[in-house]
Amino acid sequence: MDVNYIVPKQFKATAERLGTQVAMRHKEYGLWQEVTWGEYYAAAEKLASGLLELGVQKGDFVGVIGENCPTWLYIDMASQMIGATTVGIYTTNAWEQVAYVVKHAECKVLFAENEEQVDKWLRFREDSPFLQAVVYWEGKGLQNLQENQLLSWKQIIKKGQDKLEVNRPTINSISNEIQEDDTAILVYTSGTTGNPKGAMLTHKNLLWAAHTLASIDDANMLKPDEEIMSFLPLCHIFERTFSVYVHLVVGYKINFVESIDTLPQNLREIHPSIGYAVPRIWEKYYSRIYIQMQDADWLNRQAYAWALKTADKYQGALSAGKTPSPWLRLRHFIAQRGIFYYLKERLGMEKMRYAFSGAAPISPDILKFYQKIGLTLVEGYGMTETSALISFSTIQDFKHGTVGKAIPGAEVKLGEDGEILTRHGGVFKGYYKNPEATEAALQEGWMHTGDIGEIDEEGYLRIVDRKKDLIITAGGKNIAPQYIENKLKFSPYINDAIVIGDKRKYLSAIIVLDEDNINKYAQDHKIQYSTYADLAENEAIQKLIDGEINKVNKTLAKVQNIRKYRMLNKRLYQEDGEMTPTMKVKRKYINEAYGELIESMY
């Protein structure tokens, strides 16, 4: 079978093949509503007709800012059906950041979900010369707003419906004219410094990556009957890959969560067969299990401790290349079926065949914990510029502490300084309007990732750290802070850790407490407090964190030990410029914003 590398053609072929089958679900008035593949295509086609009526042409840019929902996918597909490029924007971006992306991409149309997002446009409407229309799809608070450029979803769909018969041949003609190397989407990287760069990903990039993922494990990793949940931002390449492009290739069901706050409830309702998330989500669930088991009655606590100890012995035997004894195998079976199965069922994870972590490094301790409870959580590695893929792990082929082996069809090697370099069909064609950055990233066809790595004799890739984040102490020792930070974050009481030490005599750390678990600890130990700041300054909490850091220090080389630390009296927020939309800490900003606090440790 010929592989299709044009998104609208793949979309049409899948919609025709799966017509009445369910493509996605979303919640409306508390009930799950289904959208078939036929309905998905029909909605996108009407919208594509409406975009033509607004004057959008092949090569134009269409912005979208909104939470994950079917409408987001209709916009993505409709834009590409007429040869336009979709530009996703994070809902958490401030209006200045939205303005930068809209103006830099020269968006002709901007889809803004609701009043909150429309208000951002109103702040820069006089300074967006290329923008011809803004379309909202949640009308609350906007019905009486009179703006010439502002349209409702119903209005653009009506325009499209009224002219659909006239525009359909044009839509089909444009779809057939699209080339594999045409830019399908523009993804603005959530960089930690300066303005974001717009990575141009082509139709071939996206579908090459989708077909490659679908082929892993002899095409058994992702199947048409999978249930998958969509909750990470769709403008991020990690979520976009699974919710849009692999979805088009494999044809499984996407379930849109109501919000990130309802994720636990929605997880229990859907019981997905595939789980994927950034490390912060997996860390939160580990922490939730830890606290729940502390709250359990004596019998359940003992049963859980026995099961965990049994699983630890079982996995230890396997890791050592030994065959577990019949008695150990029996105990392990009882632990999995009699205890861990019901634990996972309460979380909504009991049907998960595969679970992936990506977009940032995760602690091997977290991976090992999930394996003990019968959920094999594995890592992959990629970046926006490589269509989310460089290396991947499978249940049959993984090694903790690594991000797997190079994906099929990819070349991966290390530069002279240990930087990871790759080339494959998913590598982007460059940064929009930024030839200097493109030239620096792409050299002789090789993508320079900016990550330092190691490749072992079996071909497994291990990420050491970001090249720019490596610490060189005053004594000349090279330290990878992420490794230490991930060990610290394994503590259920530590939400974030930022290791400091470049050109210093020793390492220190800024610690951000896990608010939920610290609150629980304070209540259980009758510690009086009014605010989060009170807890961060409490002597008993400091002793608790002392103990957590000492545990980690015992597992590290002396030069890696955290000698001093300070607890922040607040959480880190993206709105404050402290984190990226994918929940990664902006290290440079932290060093600048908390300079005095850092100096107090030296």
Query: Tokens 């919710």 correspond to what residue?
Result: 243
pLDDT at position 121: 97
Domain-embedded: residue 376: yes
pLDDT band at 586 (very low <50, low <70, confident <90, very high): confident
Helix 481-489 / helix 364-372 crossing angle, nearest 10 deg = 40
Q: Does residue 327 have a pLDDT over 70?
A: yes
pLDDT, the chain, mean: 94
* 430's tokens: 């460059």
Q: How far apart are CA 46 and CA 165, in angstroms?
A: 10
Is 408 within a domain? yes
Non-local (6+) Cβ contacts of 89 within 8 A are: 63, 64, 65, 97, 98, 101, 102, 188, 235
Alpha carbon distances (Å) from 269 to 292, 341, 361: 20, 16, 29
Say yes or no: 139 and 31 in one domain.
yes
Q: Quote the pLDDT of residue 190.
A: 67
Q: Residue 197 phi/psi, 5° resolution? A: -105, 140
pLDDT above 70 (res 240): yes
- What's the mean pLDDT in 111-136? 96
390/484 same-domain check? no
At 374, give phi and psi (nearest 5°): 90, 15
Return phi, psi of residue 481, to 5°: -65, -35
The pLDDT of residue 196 is above 60: yes
Q: Which amino acid is at 455?
A: I
Residues 162, 119 share a domain = yes
Whether residue 8 contacts residue 77, with contact meaning beta carbons closer than 8 Å, is answered with yes
258, 289, 313 - which closes a domain = 258
Phi, psi for residue 425 in degrees, rounded to 5: -70, -10
Q: For residues 445 and 539, state if they share a domain.
A: no
What is the distance between the alpha carbons of residues 467 and 456, in angstroms, rounded to a whole number?
A: 19
The one-letter amino acid at 560: Q
pTM given for the model: 0.90
Mean pLDDT for 482-487 is 94
CA 110 to chain CA centroid, nearest Å: 23
Give the other-Cβ count within 10 Å of 289's Cβ: 19
- The residue out of 439, 466, 493 marking a domain boundary is 466
Report strand pairing: 22-28 vs 253-256.
Answer: parallel
Are 438 and 514 within one domain? no
- Residue 542: give its domain's CATH number: 3.30.300.30
Number of structural domains (the chain) is 3
pLDDT number for residue 95: 94
- Give the pLDDT confidence score for residue 449 in this predicted structure: 96
Alpha-carbon gap, residue 334 to 569, rounded angstroms? 44
- Residue 322 sits at φ, ψ, to 5 deg, of -100, 160
Residues 440 and 326 in one domain: yes
Co-location of 524 and 567 in the same domain: yes
Is 453 a domain residue?
A: yes
d(CA 356, CA 388): 13
**Angle at the Cα of 157 (from 77 to 125), degrees rounded to 5?**
85
Q: In which domain, by residue range, is 546 found?
A: 470-599
Q: Do the beta carbons of residue 478 and residue 472 sit within 8 Å?
A: yes
Give the CATH number of the domain where residue 327 resides.
3.40.50.12780
92 and 229 co-located in one domain: yes
Claim to verify: residue 144 and residue 290 sit in the same structural domain: no
308 and 410 fall within a common domain: yes
